[in-house]
Every structure is written in C-alpha cells, then in structure tokens.
C-alpha cells in the first residue's frame, strides 16, 4: 500500500495512547484524533487519521477503527496549514481545553499560541473549511513564530480545543502521554513516595526533543565501553564527536540532561581518576576549560554544572572516566524527570551539534580561555 509508513506511524502512536490510561482525561467531548500527513502533502486526502476518532472504552483511550486517509478533515487542514510554514510539521492531535494543560505545555518549553473564533472575519466564515487555516495563520502571527500548541476557547456550538503538533504521530503521542501523566499528578495532587533504592545505572531516562524539532532518535549501544568504541571509530555507534586530539575527546551526550550537554573524555580507558598522570590531568582540565568556553559561546546558559560521577553508587553509568559539562537555565523542566521519567530538550540535537561545529576553534589548544 502506498504511504504505508505514515499509516504505520499512526498505528504506533495510537498504541502509545491506548496504553496510557491518564490520556483519557485529555480526550474532549468531540473525542480526539491524531493525524499524520505524507511528505509534501497539500490535500486533505493525503493525511492519515483515525475513522471514528479515539474515544473512551472502560475508562481507557480506544481507537474504534484502523488508521486511514480522509479520516479527519479538521485536523488534516490544521496540519496542512502548519506545513505551509514548516514542511516537517506533519502531525497533530486534539485535546480538551484546560488552562492547566496549557500551563504544563509552557513548563515543558512548548511554544503556545491561540486564536479567537469570535474574531473570525465574515468572508472566512462563508467558506467551508476556512476557519482552521485562518486560525493557524492568526496563531502564528500572534507570537511571530511557529507554535507547538494552538488553542481556541470555542464558539457557538464549538467546543474549546487544544492542538499539539509535531513531526510525526509517534512523537506527538509521546509528548501527549507526558502531558497526560503530569496532568494526572496535578489533578490528583499525587506526590511520588521517596524510595532509597538507587535507579539502575544502566537505565537511561527517556529523552524527547520538543515537537517539530525532534528529528534525532538515539539508541543505546551494546558494547563493553561506549567511549572506547567511539575512540576506536566503531561505525555502529551513534555519536556526536566535536573534538579528538588522540588524548582527550569532547562529545555531545546523546541522552542529554539539558540542551548542549557535553562530556570531556580521556581516549585511554581510565576507571580511576588517580590513574591519570599529572600532565594528562592538566591537558584534560585545560580542555574542560575550553569546553566551558564553547558552551558559554554557543548555548549562553544561565549557569553550568561541571562534574565527575565516580562509581555506580555516585551515579556513573559508564566506568570510563568522563567529565560532564551541563548548561543550566533559570527555567528548566526538571520535574519531568521525576514524574514521567522523561526529559524534554527544546532543540533537536542535530541543530545544537551544527551550532557547536561552527565554533569548534574554541576547543583548539591555542585558544585562550
């Protein structure tokens, strides 16, 4: 079948939503639909959705039919309107309106905008299907950038609605699940009980790059030492190397804590910092200095954490000595880590990598810090 990839993506997205009971609370009276357009789409017929929408069965989200084309003209028009501004925004989902949901979206770093259906021009009202394209244009003009979330407060016979957009149905569904979990915690005033048990160090938190920026997908690699594999040039390892002088390396963390999270790593496999000689230590920390300068120049954070985790009990998931350089910001979404086991990064890692590449001269040993 043509465009099977888009249908498969929506199927996976529906499965994600159906396995999240918390998403039930976000389904509006008119029910939810999640759609995804084919690449380069310019017609409603080229958008996949759920016939009959996503409803509630026995208190859980449930798709009543398999994904297909021509299944939601409203959501299809929204996606097509967004694609005119950014062709990578090919998916969207609608949720009920609640100011608390909007607040969660803002805390996650999502760009939020709106339009007022009461201000819809008469000539737009007269043309069938023109309201949503007009609303999208209004929402974009309102904040001067392409939003991740668009909402309206309804009108006569029209339910207020929140729409979340992104590059794929799976990514939109993943973000919706995070929002739903946070909304559930807030609504039920739940506080996660403290447990002294340490989280397994081989388990990394999920990382979601904010919608329409989320193009990077990292996968954990099954090698004895990821840093040694990178130093050896293993072609099967996903990596973002910025610098390697055969003594030390600077890498982007592909499961970052925040945008621009870097690591300074000795090429040689050291497991104890006291194994490193004085000259090597000097070179290592001189590179740490220059890496901090690079982060300040490119990321412009409000602060920076510099740290070593020595041993599993101290949080080290990789025994190979490495130094974290973590940009910090006054407004962060750190609560996602504890409530949904997920971190939200507000810029695609490939975009950040390209920005670092432009300033790589800062890492050279001749550069003054």
Catalytic center residues: 322
The closest of 310, 314, 317, 265 to 291, measured between CA atoms, is 265
> What is the pairing mode between strands 34-37 and 91-96?
antiparallel
Structure token digits, residue 176: 């919706």
Sequence length of the chain is: 369
Asked whether the beta carbons of 14 and 54 are under 8 A apart, the reply is yes
Q: How far apart are CA 174 and CA 276, in angstroms?
A: 43
Q: How far apart are CA 61 and CA 79, in angstroms?
A: 22
The closest of 347, 287, 353 to 322, measured between CA atoms, is 287
Per the listing, tokens 């997920």 go with 342
**Half-sphere exposure (CA, 13 Å, Cβ side) for 352?**
27
Q: How far apart are CA 105 and CA 90, in angstroms?
A: 19
Asked whether the beta carbons of 89 and 165 are under 8 A apart, the reply is yes
């Amino acid at each position: 079948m043509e465009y099977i990839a888009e249908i498969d993506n929506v199927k996976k997205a529906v499965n994600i939503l159906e396995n999240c009971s918390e998403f039930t609370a976000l389904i509006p009276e008119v029910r939810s639909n999640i759609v995804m357009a084919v690449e380069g789409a310019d017609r409603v017929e080229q958008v996949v959705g759920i016939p009959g929408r996503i409803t509630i069965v026995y208190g859980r989200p449930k798709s009543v039919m398999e994904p297909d084309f021509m299944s939601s003209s409203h959501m299809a028009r929204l996606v097509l309107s967004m694609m005119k501004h950014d062709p990578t925004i090919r998916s969207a989902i609608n949720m009920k309106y609640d100011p608390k949901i909007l607040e969660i979206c803002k805390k996650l770093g999502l760009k939020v905008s709106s339009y007022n259906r009461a201000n819809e021009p008469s000539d737009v009202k007269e043309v069938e299907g023109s309201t949503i394209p007009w609303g999208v244009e209004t929402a974009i003009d309102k904040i001067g950038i392409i939003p991740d979330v668009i909402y309206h407060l309804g009108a006569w016979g029209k339910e207020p609605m929140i729409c979340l957009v992104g590059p794929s149905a799976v990514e939109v569904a993943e973000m919706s699940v995070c929002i739903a979990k946070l909304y559930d915690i807030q609504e039920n005033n739940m506080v996660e009980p403290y447990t002294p048990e340490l989280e397994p160090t081989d388990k990394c938190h999920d990382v979601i790059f904010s919608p329409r920026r989320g193009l990077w997908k990292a996968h954990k690699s099954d090698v004895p030492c990821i840093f040694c594999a990178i130093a050896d040039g293993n072609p099967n390892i996903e990596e973002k190397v910025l610098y390697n002088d055969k003594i030390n390396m600077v890498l982007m963390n592909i499961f970052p804590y925040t945008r621009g999270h870097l690591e300074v790593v000795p090429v040689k496999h050291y497991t104890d910092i006291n194994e490193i000689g004085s000259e090597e230590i000097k070179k290592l920390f001189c590179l740490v200095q220059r890496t901090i300068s690079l982060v300040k120049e490119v990321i412009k954070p409000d602060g920076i954490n510099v740290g070593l985790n020595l041993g599993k009990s101290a949080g080290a998931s990789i025994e190979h000595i490495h130094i974290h350089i973590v940009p910090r910001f006054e407004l962060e979404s750190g609560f996602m880590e504890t409530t949904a086991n997920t971190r939200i990064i507000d810029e695609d890692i490939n975009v950040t990598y390209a920005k670092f590449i432009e300033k790589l001269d800062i890492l050279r040993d001749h550069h003054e810090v």
